[in-house]
Amino acid sequence: MSKSDDRKDKSTGADVIEEVEHELREPDMFQVLLHNDHYTTMEFVIEVLRVVFHKSIIEATKIMLDVHRKGIGVVGTFTYDIARTRAERVMRMARERDFPLRCTVEKV
């Protein structure tokens, strides 16, 4: 994308138009990960996935089982601000319910 920049030529006083190139790039993406523990209930993990990440019951159950069986599960991929906000919301919900559920953000 280019932007025109109007300026005056110092020697002649005439208008000079310069083309300035601005390179646009896609934002970095980040994965939100849930980590398994031995205290957080499966029901709470499904609730978090449904409320915070708007997952269907089927998707939420699949992710919860990944977390349970593999020790970690990928919830989704977002830009940094969205990923960080959702991870913080998960952690806040877990603290309010006295669960040690961990949710982290990792660059893709």
Q: Hunting for tokens 């990440």 — which residue is that? A: 53
Instruction: Report the CATH number of the 29-107 domain.
Output: 3.30.1390.10
User: Domain boundaries in the chain?
Assistant: 29-107
pLDDT digits (tens, 9 = 90+) for 20-50: 788 899 999 999 999 999 999 999 999 999 9
Which candidate, 43, 37, 40, places its Cα nearest to that of 57? 43
Residues whose CB falls within 8 Å of the CB of residue 27, separated by 6 or more in sequence, listed in order: 79, 80
pLDDT digits (tens, 9 = 90+) for 50-68: 999 999 999 999 999 999 9
Which candidate, 60, 64, 42, places its Cα nearest to that of 51? 60
Q: What is the pTM of this model?
A: 0.76
User: Residue 79 corresponds to which tokens in the numbers above?
Assistant: 């830009």
